[in-house]
């Protein structure tokens, strides 16, 4: 099986849909001896920020001279971005080889796309003999395919309402699902949470005898992106910098520092220099990303109310008042619940479809915008909507793309390949 055939095989598994539960993974594990051997890893769950925290922690580990595996999802442009060794995506031929192994052993096991991908990642990390891997959950935690691992540290990033059809309709219910990654005696670092979520997580940790390092109680940060201080227990880090935009990324950076401190207490050799360097070298495309660094087009994968609120807060911090919003929503998300934080910034809305997976009809976004008395237009493709936004934006108006990672990925790819273009010479204003 070559690379394209491996992708065809994996995407073909999407016919099984989303299936929460560990039965298939346990069946795969029983047929793959390598998966039966534990290896050092960190497990990361949450609603928002888990990818950023994972990438930041992986950078700290890498700069400490360790061989690091990183598993995140979904990807922006290429499937192999999901599985990285020392920051580099897995080789195409290696992916094809491991995918063929999964295909052969999965006979009569109805593995899903994410289950097969997770098994590939774990096999790759074992074959590369990584010193440690950072593994992000896909959906939830308790019944997530990644929950067959035996981590030495768990992390839970901020939890908000999302994927309620799978995880529950309240924050407490979702928090309970995410807390399902907590293992007996395994320490856990918990990011900022609503009180009802923190209560559920702390109770789960107490039940498992897991020591908790909790944001605002056991670790704190102060400062800004250029001069950040983080305190974790008796450890203090001054003069840190973080290249990821948005105040929420400082929360994420602090949680990664707290995780690094916990790992050091377990004997993992993470240096202060590596922690400092990680904040300068980390990249995470599509997250409050100014296209080509010019302040004219802002790409952000925010797709739920908590993420959209972070985007709105960033626009506020940057004193940005007029934006042309290119918006597409995935799944069954409600524009009213998701997009309201952006209303006061919107000069116009350009409703577009999301080309990957289930897309919220553009008519629903148009109806919502009309109810808010915002200028709005519906478009057949994301490219058409983006081009209309560029044309409609006056000098010093910004174009913001948000609502779905898949939408950002599509338009970013078109920009990369020159199918869409932005006149960056007009974007030199502050």
- Decide if pLDDT at 383 tops 70: yes
pLDDT of residue 318: 94
pLDDT of residue 341: 96
List, for residues 345-373, the tens digit of each pLDDT value.
999 999 999 988 789 999 999 999 999 99
Task: Quote the CA–CA distance of 204 and 144 in Å, as a whole number.
Answer: 17
The more confident residue out of 137 and 169 is 137
Which of 153, 156, 151, 82 is CA-nearest to residue 121? 82
pLDDT of residue 53: 98
- Decide if pLDDT at 429 tops 50: no
pLDDT of residue 270: 97
pLDDT of residue 236: 96
The more confident residue out of 427 and 69 is 69
Token pair of 38, please?
């534990």
List, for residues 10-34, the tens digit of each pLDDT value.
999 987 777 788 999 999 999 999 8
- Decide if pLDDT at 416 tops 90: yes
Residue ranges of the domains in the chain?
3-281, 289-426
How large is the average pLDDT for residues 61-86?
97
Average pLDDT, the chain: 93
With pLDDT > 70 as the criterion, what percentage of the chain qualifies? 97
CA 42 to chain CA mean position, Å:
15
How large is the average pLDDT for residues 268-283?
97
pLDDT of residue 162: 64
Q: What is the CATH number of domain 289-426?
A: 3.90.190.20
Classify domain 3-281 by CATH architecture.
3-Layer(aba) Sandwich (3.40)
pLDDT of residue 137: 96
Which of 81, 74, 80 is CA-nearest to residue 356? 74
How large is the average pLDDT for residues 126-137?
97
Which of 285, 301, 308, 368 is CA-nearest to residue 334? 368
pLDDT of residue 19: 75
E strand or H helix at 384: helix 382-392
pLDDT of residue 421: 87
Angle, CA 178 vertex, CA 173 and CA 180 arms, to 5°: 100
Task: Quote the CA–CA distance of 167 and 180 in Å, as a whole number.
Answer: 12
Task: Quote the CA–CA distance of 279 and 388 in Å, as a whole number.
Answer: 36
pLDDT of residue 228: 96
pLDDT of residue 301: 96
Q: pLDDT tier at 427 (50, 70, 90 boundaries)? A: very low
DSSP string, 327-365: E--BTT--HHHHHGGGGGGEEEEEE---SSS-B--HHHH
Which of 161, 187, 186 is CA-nearest to residue 178? 161
3-281 and 289-426 agree in CATH topology: no
Q: pLDDT tier at 99 (50, 70, 90 boundaries)? A: very high
pLDDT of residue 430: 31
| pTM, rounded to two decimals | 0.94
Which of 248, 212, 256 is CA-nearest to residue 230? 256
Least confident span in 47-61, 168-182, 376-390: 168-182
pLDDT of residue 151: 98
Task: Quote the CA–CA distance of 183 and 151 in Å, as a whole number.
Answer: 8
End-to-end CA distance of the chain: give it in Å, rounded: 51
List, for residues 197-249, the tens digit of each pLDDT value.
999 999 999 999 999 999 999 999 999 999 999 999 999 999 999 999 999 99
pLDDT of residue 231: 97
How large is the average pLDDT for residues 397-423?
94
Task: Quote the CA–CA distance of 52 and 284 in Å, as a whole number.
Answer: 7
How large is the average pLDDT for residues 387-412?
93
């Amino acid at each position: 099986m070559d690379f394209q055939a491996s992708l065809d095989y994996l995407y073909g598994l999407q016919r099984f849909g989303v299936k929460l539960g560990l039965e298939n993974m346990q069946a795969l594990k029983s047929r793959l001896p390598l998966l039966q051997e534990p290896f050092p890893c960190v497990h990361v769950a949450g609603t928002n920020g888990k990818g950023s925290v994972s990438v930041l922690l992986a950078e700290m580990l890498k700069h400490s001279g360790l061989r690091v595996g990183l598993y995140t999802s979904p990807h922006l442009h290429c499937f192999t971005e999901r599985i990285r060794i020392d920051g580099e995506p897995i080789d195409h031929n290696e992916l094809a080889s491991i995918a063929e192994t999964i295909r052969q052993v999965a006979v009569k096991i109805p593995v899903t796309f994410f289950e097969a991908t997770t098994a590939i990642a774990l096999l790759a990390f074992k074959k590369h003999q990584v010193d440690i891997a950072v593994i992000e959950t896909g959906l939830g935690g308790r019944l997530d395919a990644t929950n067959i691992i035996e981590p030495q540290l768990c992390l839970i990033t901020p939890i908000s309402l999302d994927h309620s059809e799978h995880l529950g309709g309240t924050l407490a219910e979702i928090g309970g699902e995410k807390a399902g990654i907590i293992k007996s005696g395994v320490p856990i670092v918990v990011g900022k949470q609503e009180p009802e979520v923190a209560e559920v997580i702390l109770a789960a940790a107490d039940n498992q005898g897991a020591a908790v390092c909790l944001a605002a109680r056991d670790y704190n940060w102060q400062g800004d992106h250029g001069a950040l201080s983080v305190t974790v227990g008796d450890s203090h880090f001054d003069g840190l910098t973080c290249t990821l935009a948005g105040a929420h990324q400082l929360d994420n950076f602090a949680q990664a520092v707290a995780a690094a401190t916990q790992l050091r207490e377990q004997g993992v050799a993470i240096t202060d220099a590596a922690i400092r360097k990680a904040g300068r070298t980390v990249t995470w495309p599509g997250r409050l990303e100014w296209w080509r660094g010019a302040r004219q087009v802002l790409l952000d994968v925010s797709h739920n109310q908590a993420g959209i609120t972070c985007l709105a807060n960033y626009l506020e911090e940057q004193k940005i008042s007029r934006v042309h919003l290119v918006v597409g929503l995935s799944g069954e998300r409600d524009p009213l619940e998701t997009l309201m934080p952006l209303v006061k910034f919107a000069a116009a809305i350009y409703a577009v479809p999301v080309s990957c997976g289930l897309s919220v009809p553009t008519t629903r976004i148009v109806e919502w915008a009309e109810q808010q008395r915002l200028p709005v237009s519906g478009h057949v493709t994301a490219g058409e909507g983006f081009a209309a936004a560029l044309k409609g934006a006056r000098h010093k108006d910004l174009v913001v793309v948000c609502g779905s990672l898949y939408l950002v990925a599509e338009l970013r790819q078109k920009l990369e390949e020159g199918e869409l273009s932005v006149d960056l010479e007009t974007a030199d204003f502050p």
